[in-house]
Structure 1
Amino acid sequence: MTPKAVIFDIGNVLIEWQPERFFDGVIGEERRRAFFGAIDLHTMNDRVDSGENFHAVLAETAAAHPDFAEELAIWQDRWLDMAAPAIDHSARLMAALQARNVPVFSLTNFGIETYEIARTKYPFLSAFDRDFISGHMGVIKPDPQIYQMLEDATGLSGADLLFADDRADNIAAAKARGWQTHLFTDPQGWADRLVAAGLLTAQEAA
């Protein structure tokens, strides 16, 4: 069936998120490996995405790991450089869907403060028909609760929803609820999926 709404993850779907690559370029691969090996940075980031204050979490982590205080300051001060660049084709797909009056929602693991920082650079983050941002919701994907919260708020569920995410565990959780899904690897594949779903023409999805 044709979906009634399309849901975009943001990291690695609309904006590239590759912290390792960023730090390789800033401090070198050897120091980056030491940094990521000493601190569970992905869990640290999950705390922010769950709603904890970005600056407070970074300060606490730096106090616990003084040998990497400089690198953690870079994580904080240059966060916007790390969350880059935009995936322009995906942003065009979002706009094309909305031009066809297809509702487009976000469903993203993103911190409260970091989302506001990102919105200063990426105007499309302010253009969703509905926002479902984990920091405000207090729960992160792939917890089933976050999918339930979206369903409750929109009145849509199951095959009415088509969801793109770059992580297989997040896709599996949506699939378990009967959502239509697309495991995002590149924007062309997502464009093809939207055309196949009857939501865009090939020209609109270019």
Structure 2
Amino acid sequence: MIERALLLDVDGVLVTPPELFGTRLLRAYPQAAGEFFGGPFLEASQGRADLRAVLPPYLERFGHAGTLEAFLAEWFGSENHPNLPMLDAVRELRALGWPTYLATNQEHHRVRYLLEDMQLAALTDGEFSSASVGVRKPDPVYFGEVARRLKLPPRQIVFWDDAPANVNAAAEAGWQAHLFTDTAHFRTVMNLPPTSP
């Protein structure tokens, strides 16, 4: 049985693309993308729908004439920008005995891409994606369910996220919640030595 756990958000923490693919879609196709991300994608990100089933009707509206596979490859590939200094810090913490988990609002297919293609499975002990938990951050139910699955008192969970709403909700749930700004601050709070400039 574990005695503590480190939970990390993905986008903006472990993965730092110049721009999220969804942001690009919303700018280029505001009506179609707003409808997609506000409806079908929300369902997929809570495990209630399959992205591969709900996305095809939108491909033409997103200006995509190719296959579903090509669209997903572009989407996931455009966000394949690992935050390498953070990944190094995670390796150090795991070597010090910190069980580490992903705590992210994601649907199942991107979770698989993160774990397998981006090899985050080798750096973590598991994932608590919104699709796996069935609810998205910052819903209080998310934090309660994750603590239940970890079999840990809330104060034994250390959580980092770049979204203040998620950090506040985690803190209200009793977690040790921190707003991620940069790796140097993360290392300081987690008692890791600073890296060489």
Q: TM tier, shorter chain?
A: 0.7 to 0.9
User: Contact conserved, 1:15 with 1:85, CA < 8 A, in 2?
Assistant: yes
What is the CA-CA distance between 1:126 and the residue it aligns to? 4.0
The residue that corresponds to 2:57 in the other structure is: 60
Q: Which deviations, in whole Å up to 9, do the C-alpha atoms of 1:51-88 show, x marking residues without a partner?
A: 221111211333xxx44241895642312222221001
The residue that corresponds to 2:10 in the other structure is: 10
Contiguous gaps of at least 5 residues in structure 2:
none
RMSD, matched Cα: 2.8
Please give the alpha-carbon distance, in whole angstroms, between the structure 1 residues aligned to 2:155 and 2:140: 16
Please give the alpha-carbon distance, in whole angstroms, between the structure 1 residues aligned to 2:181 and 2:117: 23
Assess, with a 3 A threshold, how the Cα gap between structure 1 residues 193 and 71 changes in structure 2: closer, same or farther: farther
Give me the identity figure in percent. 23
The residue that corresponds to 1:178 in the other structure is: 174
Matched, 1:79 2:86: no
Please give the alpha-carbon distance, in whole angstroms, between the structure 1 residues aligned to 2:121 and 2:76: 14
SS in 1 for 2:185: helix
How many residue pairs were aligned? 189
SS in 2 for 1:163: strand
What is the CA-CA distance between 1:20 and the residue it aligns to? 5.3
Please give the alpha-carbon distance, in whole angstroms, between the structure 1 residues aligned to 2:45 and 2:16: 16
Assess, with a 3 A threshold, how the Cα gap between structure 1 residues 140 and 99 changes in structure 2: closer, same or farther: same
User: Contact conserved, 2:7 with 2:158, CA < 8 A, in 1?
Assistant: yes
More helix per residue: 1 or 2?
1
In the superposition, the TM-score normalised over structure 1's length comes to 0.78
Which letter maps to 1:187? Answer: T
User: Contact conserved, 2:32 with 2:61, CA < 8 A, in 1?
Assistant: no
In the superposition, the TM-score normalised over structure 2's length comes to 0.81
